[in-house]
Amino acid sequence: MSKALDPRRANDPRDFLAVDGLLDEDERAIKQTVRRFVVDRVLPDIAGWYEEGVFPRDLATEMGSLGLLGMHLDGYGCAGTNAVSYGLACLELEAGDSGFRSFVSVQGSLAMFPIHAFGSEEQKQEWLPQMAAGEAIGCFGLTEPDSGSDPGSMRTVARRDGSDWVLNGTKMWITNGGIADVAVVWARTDEGIRGFVVPTTTPGFAASNIHAKASLRASVTSELVLQDVRLPESAVLPGVVGLRGPLSCLNEARFGILFGAVGAARACYEAALDYSLSREQFGRPIAGFQLVQRKLVEMMVSVNRSTLVALHLGRLKDAGRLTPAQVSFGKMDNVRQAVEVAREARNSLGANGITLEYPVIRHMTNLESVYTYEGTNEIHTLTLGQAITGLAAFR
Ligand code: TGC
Ligand code: FAD
């Protein structure tokens, strides 16, 4: 008879609900591969990149060769994994830094997805293989200086001029903008909102990076100015008209974020656990004090609960049953949980919690952006309110 496990030590503090056991072999292998990439290629340098405010563009091709770019899309050089694997990759990347998950979200879900879902065959052939390889970088221009939560109020316009389109307007807060080779830009037309595939070398297109950010510093965030940008008819995404186009892309990216936030929270919880076990005050490890244990337990419960929510939503997506409001549930709750975990972890590290020698303050400040972008906490709350009452309270 096998010796019974000591019930006091039967659980892995880093996977308390044994969620890893719910993954299949391929999913576990992808998770491990991305975790290794983060440990080897991101963690050694991330504090420096964060401090300097740079994103290491060189790593794009490495992420491409790992199949992380547009990984849940089929064909055109994309890996074609299931949705859960895409989510797990986002989780592991964000355990490194939200900037890396952002890069992958924007490239795969916001720039490649619209071309894949709504693009012409010519657009797909031209852009997707090089984007999947990380040789071309994409960005997604929806938000404007006066049009954030309400993208339907955008002012960027595209008007027909003979067989061409001419675009004018300004896009704000655009991830990857300054390093992009191609921008998917959403603009108002006589027919409704349409998407345009804009090579960033097109005359009249300019990107300037936003500096002095105190969050997501290892990520490029830019303003895009389009002044009489002339594009051929072939630049428009033929497959969609209306706000449904960009909002469909957001569903994909928000799905990655609801997994990613768990990664940031897990990294914070693990840092707090390790620190509390080794830091001694009053003659013993602070992890032995009841108030510290309470914080650690709250963090652990939160991380496990968010992981289960993410995995459940991933399984729904793979079964083709995930609704946009369910994505809002995950984005709203997992990100707010992560914000709270990061804050508690920061506190647990005392003064060391404010230095970049530990990952926590970096995650904590990053998560402030994650709380705001891809639909703020309030917008997802209202989306859920509408879903359960049938009443829209946005306006
Ligand atoms: P509304 O009248 O409700 O809808 C207009 C049309 O869109 C359809 N629709 C959706 N389609 C797909 N997915 C969704 N989630 C959809 N939500 C709505 C809807 O059926 C309708 O279609 P049709 O064919 O009948 O015309 O639109 P509204 O103007 O009332 O707005 C609704 C609201 C507020 C929820 C929406 O505008 C919204 O989500 N606002 C938040 C904006 C946002 O999230 N921006 C993110 C920008 S990108 C970014 O932040 C990248 S961060 C970098 C990174 O990811 O790392
Ligand atoms: P606002 O919409 O002005 O909101 C301000 C506050 O008012 C928020 O708290 C909001 O919740 C609240 N509010 C607004 N409307 C309501 C309402 N009806 N009811 C209750 N409260 C409300 N955009 C892109 O298009 N592409 C990108 O790649 C991209 N990357 C980003 C990267 C970073 C680092 C950041 C910070 C943002 C990025 N964004 C991007 C923009 C992001 O999507 C917007 O910031 C976000 O949608 C919110 O818009 P806003 O900042 O204009 O805030």
Q: Do 86 and 37 share a structural domain?
A: yes
pLDDT digits (tens, 9 = 90+) for 375-390: 999 999 999 999 999 9
Residue 149 sits in which domain range?
A: 138-235
User: Which pLDDT value is given to residue 134?
Assistant: 98
pLDDT digits (tens, 9 = 90+) for 150-177: 999 999 999 999 999 999 999 999 999 9
pLDDT at 2 over 60: no
Residue 395 domain-assigned (yes or no): no
Atom nearest to 140 CA in ligand 1: 48
User: Is there an atom of ligand 2 within 6 Å of 378 CB?
Assistant: yes
Nearest CA to ligand 2 atom 8: 376
User: Is there an atom of ligand 2 within 6 Å of 394 CB?
Assistant: yes
Cα 279 to ligand 2 centre (Å): 39
Catalytic residues: 374
Residue 379 domain-assigned (yes or no): yes
Q: Do 385 and 254 share a structural domain?
A: yes
Task: Report DSSP state, residue 325.
Answer: H
Q: Which residues contact 94 (CB under 8 A, 6 or more apart)?
A: 100, 101, 259, 260, 261, 262, 263, 264
Residue 171 domain-assigned (yes or no): yes
Tell how far CA 314 is from the center of its chain: 15
Task: Report DSSP state, residue 395.
Answer: -
Look up the CATH number of the domain holding residue 102: 1.10.540.10
> Burial of 108 by CB count in 10 Å (0-12 exposed, 13-18 middle, 19+ buried)?
buried
pLDDT at 3 over 70: no
Q: Do 291 and 208 share a structural domain?
A: no
Ligand showing the shortest atom-to-Cα distance for residue 243:
1
**Mean predicted confidence (pLDDT) in 131-136:** 98
Residue 43 domain-assigned (yes or no): yes
Ligand showing the shortest atom-to-Cα distance for residue 395:
2
pLDDT digits (tens, 9 = 90+) for 318-367: 999 999 999 999 999 999 999 999 999 999 999 999 999 999 999 999 99
CA distances (Å), 281 to each of 19, 133, 343, 344, 358, in order?
A: 34, 50, 21, 18, 19
User: Is there an atom of ligand 2 within 6 Å of 106 CB?
Assistant: yes
User: Is there an atom of ligand 2 within 6 Å of 186 CB?
Assistant: no
Q: Do 258 and 372 share a structural domain?
A: yes
Burial per residue of 119-144, b for 16 or more beta-carbon CB atoms within 10 angstroms, e otherwise: bbeebbebbbbbbbbbebbbbbbbbb
pLDDT band per the 50, 70, 90 thresholds, residue 5: confident
Nearest CA to ligand 2 atom 31: 173
What share of the chain in percent tops pLDDT 90?
Answer: 97
Q: Which residues contact 161 (CB under 8 A, 6 or more apart)?
A: 230
Q: Do 179 and 293 share a structural domain?
A: no
Look up the CATH number of the domain holding residue 353: 1.20.140.10
Return the H-helix or E-strand segment holding 351.
none
Domain end marker among 217, 235, 253: 235
Q: Do 184 and 313 share a structural domain?
A: no
Cα 368 to ligand 2 centre (Å): 11
Q: Do 321 and 254 share a structural domain?
A: yes
Return the H-helix or E-strand segment holding 138.
strand 138-141
User: Is there an atom of ligand 1 within 6 Å of 306 CB?
Assistant: no
Q: Do 346 and 288 share a structural domain?
A: yes
pLDDT band per the 50, 70, 90 thresholds, residue 7: confident
Q: Do 385 and 250 share a structural domain?
A: yes
Look up the CATH number of the domain holding residue 207: 2.40.110.10
Domain end marker among 107, 132, 157: 132
Cα 150 to ligand 1 centre (Å): 8
pTM higher than 0.95, yes or no?
yes
Q: Do 249 and 382 share a structural domain?
A: yes
pLDDT digits (tens, 9 = 90+) for 247-300: 999 999 999 999 999 999 999 999 999 999 999 999 999 999 999 999 999 999
Residue 285 domain-assigned (yes or no): yes
Residue 69 domain-assigned (yes or no): yes
**Mutation pick for ligand 1 pocket among 244, 259, 322, 378 (CB with most ligand atoms within 8 Å):** 244
Kindly state the tokens that stand for 165: 């389109």
Residue 120 domain-assigned (yes or no): yes
State the Cα angle at 107 between 104 and 110, rounded to 5°. 110
Mean pLDDT of the residues in the chain: 97
Domain end marker among 113, 132, 151: 132
User: Is there an atom of ligand 2 within 6 Å of 143 CB?
Assistant: yes
Question: What is the total count of domains within the chain?
Answer: 3
Residue 248 domain-assigned (yes or no): yes
User: Which pLDDT value is given to residue 1?
Assistant: 43
Atom nearest to 325 CA in ligand 1: 15
Q: Do 145 and 127 share a structural domain?
A: no
User: Is there an atom of ligand 2 within 6 Å of 383 CB?
Assistant: no
pLDDT digits (tens, 9 = 90+) for 198-226: 999 999 999 999 999 999 999 999 999 99
Q: Which residues contact 222 (CB under 8 A, 6 or more apart)?
A: 139, 174, 175, 176, 177, 178, 207, 208, 209, 210
User: Which pLDDT value is given to residue 8?
Assistant: 82
Ligand showing the shortest atom-to-Cα distance for residue 144:
2
Q: Do 262 and 199 share a structural domain?
A: no
Secondary structure (3-state) at 156? coil
